[in-house]
Amino acid sequence: MHRALLKQSLDRLAAEYGTRYLDTDPVGIVHRYSSPPDIEVAGLVVSALGYGGAAQIRRGACEALDRAETSPAVFAANAGLEEALARFQGFKHRWTDGADMALLFLAAGEMIREYGSIGALVKALDDPAEETVTDVLARFAAWIRVRCDALAARAGIPLRVPFPVPSPADGSACKRPAMYFRWMVRGPDGVDFGLWRFISPSRLVVPVDRHMARMAALLGLTDRRAGDWRTALDITRALRELDPDDPLRYDFALVRPGILRSCTSSSTGDRGSCALGGVCREAACG
């Protein structure tokens, strides 16, 4: 009965927080582009900067993409090392600096030149028999790190850690690449783009940040406290029980209340006014 009620509540939440909330999420910035190559490159860049406050993420992502001018894919595929470093000189988003951004764009350019697209590289790295995207995410991050390490050595600059593309092999929740894969795999539904049809949405792993961690705890999706990859897998398993084919269809909606500050640890109000009021563990929800 609890599972049925939880699914019903999450379905209501997903209906409440749809495409009209795109401008509250980093994925909304990626929707500035219509061509698959630009969507892929923009998505990689925006997701790499997906840490910090929502407004701060959007400012940093917009600045990075503006520096690439009208087509991030064309810039990535054609920019040289010196040009890219010069283009992003002075860029700063918390601990990500201009050199980090330049290297990430150049790595994306190598993917395009060698494989034809970012998606084609991911397909080459993927094994559809694997239950989740854990290992392909790790291989993708390793590919980028090797290329960026070589580019940094050529430029005589250190490859700083943490780099914008973390790996599940490091143990962290890897929210940013998990978010990127969700954008590229799910849909198209007005939020996610559905470009990578070779990966089943059932294999995706939920991006876990403080908003998702809190909501997962309130809804009983996990009892784990650590913000790591094991917690991401645990939450995903719970969501897969509600929708085996598309467990991340609730992800966008689940983090809206925290981002919009309609459901925080200091919130007060009537639980009945919230779509999750009947299944939330705290009266503060709503």
User: CA-to-CA distance for 42 and 20, rounded, in angstroms?
Assistant: 21
Sign (positive or negative) of CA dihedral 207, 209, 213, 215: negative
pLDDT, residue 264, reads 59
pLDDT tens digits for range 23-77: 999 999 999 999 999 999 999 999 999 998 888 999 999 999 999 999 999 999 9
Q: 3-class DSSP state for residue 93?
A: strand
The answer as to whether 232 is a domain residue is yes
Residue 186 has which token pair? 């799910």
- Look up residue 17 and give its DSSP letter: S
Backbone phi, then psi, for 172, in 5-degree steps? -75, 170
- pLDDT band for 273, please (50, 70, 90 cuts): low
User: CA-to-CA distance for 182 and 202, rounded, in angstroms?
Assistant: 11
The answer as to whether 97 is a domain residue is yes
pTM of the model: 0.92
- Look up residue 44 and give its DSSP letter: H
The answer as to whether 282 is a domain residue is no
The answer as to whether 239 is a domain residue is yes
Domain, as residue range, for 205? 2-273
The answer as to whether 279 is a domain residue is no
Reduced to 3 DSSP states, what percent helix, strand and coil does the chain have, rounded to the nearest 5?
60, 0, 40
Instruction: Identify the CA nearest to 208 among candidates 186, 181, 189, 236.
Output: 236
User: CA-to-CA distance for 159 and 57, rounded, in angstroms?
Assistant: 22
State yes or no: cis peptide before 207, omega within 30 of 0.
no
What is the rounded average pLDDT of the residues 168-189?
Answer: 95
User: CA-to-CA distance for 152 and 147, rounded, in angstroms?
Assistant: 9
pLDDT higher than 70, residue 82 = yes
| Amino acid making up residue 228 | D
Backbone phi, then psi, for 97, in 5-degree steps? -115, -175
The answer as to whether 281 is a domain residue is no
Torsion angle of C-alpha atoms 89, 95, 100, 104, degrees rounded to 10: -130
274 vs 197: which has the higher pLDDT:
197
Instruction: Identify the CA nearest to 77 among candidates 49, 107, 99, 102.
Output: 107
- pLDDT band for 286, please (50, 70, 90 cuts): very low
pLDDT, residue 123, reads 98
Q: 3-class DSSP state for residue 286?
A: coil
pLDDT higher than 70, residue 162 = no
pLDDT, residue 52, reads 86
The answer as to whether 280 is a domain residue is no
User: CA-to-CA distance for 254 and 251, rounded, in angstroms?
Assistant: 5
Strands, E assignment, the chain: 92-93, 96-97
pLDDT, residue 265, reads 56
The answer as to whether 47 is a domain residue is yes
165 vs 205: which has the higher pLDDT:
205
pLDDT tens digits for range 115-153: 999 999 999 999 999 999 999 999 999 999 999 999 999
* Lowest-confidence pick of 46-55, 160-169, 208-217, 250-259: 160-169
Largest Cα span, the chain? 61
Q: 3-class DSSP state for residue 4?
A: helix
> Chain centroid to CA 228: how far?
15
Q: What's the N-to-C CA distance of the chain in angstroms?
A: 22
- pLDDT band for 247, please (50, 70, 90 cuts): very high
Number of domains in the chain: 1
User: CA-to-CA distance for 76 and 81, rounded, in angstroms?
Assistant: 10
275 vs 176: which has the higher pLDDT:
176
Percent of the chain with pLDDT over 70: 91
Question: Average pLDDT of the chain?
Answer: 91
260 vs 188: which has the higher pLDDT:
188
